[in-house]
Amino acid sequence: MDKKVTLSDLMDAKQAGRKIAAVSCYDYTTARLVARAGVDMILVGDSAAQVLLGYENTLPVTMDFMVTITAAVRRAAPNVCLVADMPFLSYQTSIADAVRNAGRFFQETGAQIVKVEATAAHLDVVKAISDAGMAVMAHIGIRPQQITKLGKLKAEGTTAGLALELVDLSKKMVAAGASSLLLEGTAREVSKIITEMSPVPVISCGSGPDCDGQILIISDILGLDGEPKPKFSKAFAQLDEPIQRAVGDFAQQVRSGRYPSDEQCYHIKPGQLEKLTAMLTDLH
């Protein structure tokens, strides 16, 4: 991809009916491959807490950590549309904190959009960040940062009443200044209504094919984790076994002395070993 994908490009894609391909990933090496594959967007999500660090939920990651990994992804993928995830307590404490922390992503990482897990209580946060000149993706539907309050995450918009609330919330988010929406775990029929009504791009995370784009976590795409997956997840490869096999072959060759071979070693320059031997002899 020779040209940087911008929010304007995503708007053009929505209007033209071109689907947006987005991936969540968290490190330089993986992001290089994802960018070369030609995706439009990378989200550096707070799901790094689980995927990279092994936590049970997304809550433990900090602003400093998210800034560090987002900057790494930008170095690897200079031309994708880069979205940075606002972690837990980076925007809930005050409007000033929200704007300041959002600004860190734009100043320190090269992100083009910040994502906020948003309820109606966060409309002022979305508006403040937007008013400060920064693009905001409002994340509605299932909100993983609410796990301790809810106890369990479940599909959203599955009754008429809940669906109406979600449709209304999506409209309010756009009115508050959201430049895009991410719908997670929302009933397909409701996601379709929201997408058709929304003037901004709507990205689906397990919310059906009728949104403007789709996002999955890279480890799920590659089949790298044997843990149970949500219903919407799909592995497009099964790389667990090949990776384990490669590392196992490495360990076996190390133990048997077959790796490294002499051809894989650096060597002292001709004639220098004799000089070194003489020097060592003189030392004794």
> Are 29 and 81 members of one domain?
yes
Domain range for residue 82?
7-238
| pLDDT higher than 80, residue 101 | yes
**Residues labelled as active-site residues:** 184
How far apart (Å, rounded) are the C-alpha atoms in residues 225 and 233? 12
145 within 8 A of 88, measured Cβ to Cβ: yes
> Are 75 and 100 members of one domain?
yes
Give the SS3 label for residue 154: coil
> Are 164 and 50 members of one domain?
yes
Neighbouring residues of 201: CB distance < 8 A, sequence distance ≥ 6: 10, 11, 13, 14, 20, 180, 181, 212, 213
Q: Which long-range contacts (CB under 8 A, 24 or more apart) does 131-136 make?
A: 131/177, 132/99, 132/102, 132/103, 134/102, 134/103, 134/106, 135/7, 135/179, 135/180, 136/102, 136/177, 136/178, 136/179, 136/180
Give the pLDDT confidence score for residue 228 in this predicted structure. Answer: 65
Give the pLDDT confidence score for residue 146 in this predicted structure. Answer: 62
Q: Which helix (H) or strand (E) holds 215?
A: strand 213-217
Does 212 fall in a domain?
A: yes
> Are 206 and 104 members of one domain?
yes
Give the pLDDT confidence score for residue 2 in this predicted structure. Answer: 76
How far apart (Å, rounded) are the C-alpha atoms in residues 64 and 140? 24
How far apart (Å, rounded) are the C-alpha atoms in residues 189 and 183? 12
Does 33 fall in a domain?
A: yes
Does 185 fall in a domain?
A: yes
- pLDDT > 90: percent of the chain: 90
Dump pLDDT digits (tens) for 33-79: 999 999 999 999 999 999 999 999 999 999 999 999 999 999 999 99
- The residue among 179, 73, 196, 197 whose CA lies nearest residue 133 is 179
How far apart (Å, rounded) are the C-alpha atoms in residues 47 and 206? 15
Give the pLDDT confidence score for residue 283 in this predicted structure. Answer: 85
> What CATH number should be reported for the domain holding residue 204?
3.20.20.60
Does 215 fall in a domain?
A: yes
Confidence bin at 282 (pLDDT 50/70/90): confident
Does 95 fall in a domain?
A: yes
| pLDDT higher than 80, residue 1 | no
Place of tokens 């490009």: 9
> Are 106 and 37 members of one domain?
yes
Give the pLDDT confidence score for residue 284 in this predicted structure. Answer: 73
141 within 8 A of 157, measured Cβ to Cβ: yes
> Are 234 and 247 members of one domain?
no
142 is written with which tokens? 């299932």
> Are 40 and 93 members of one domain?
yes
| pLDDT higher than 60, residue 149 | no
Give the pLDDT confidence score for residue 175 in this predicted structure. Answer: 98
Give the pLDDT confidence score for residue 153 in this predicted structure. Answer: 58
How far apart (Å, rounded) are the C-alpha atoms in residues 125 and 24? 23
* Helices 28-36/63-76 angle, 10° precision: 40
Give the pLDDT confidence score for residue 143 in this predicted structure. Answer: 87
Mean pLDDT of the chain: 94
> Are 158 and 271 members of one domain?
no
Confidence bin at 27 (pLDDT 50/70/90): very high
In terms of residues, how long is the chain? 284
* Helices 188-197/160-176 angle, 10° precision: 30
Which of 131-135, 153-157, 236-240 has the weakest average pLDDT?
Answer: 153-157
> Are 86 and 193 members of one domain?
yes
Dump pLDDT digits (tens) for 181-207: 999 999 999 999 999 999 999 999 999
**Full-model pTM:** 0.93
> Are 171 and 97 members of one domain?
yes
Give the pLDDT confidence score for residue 247 in this predicted structure. Answer: 97
Domains in the chain, number: 2
| pLDDT higher than 70, residue 148 | no
Dump pLDDT digits (tens) for 217-236: 999 999 997 666 788 899 99
> Are 63 and 171 members of one domain?
yes
Does 142 fall in a domain?
A: yes
Give the SS3 label for residue 113: strand
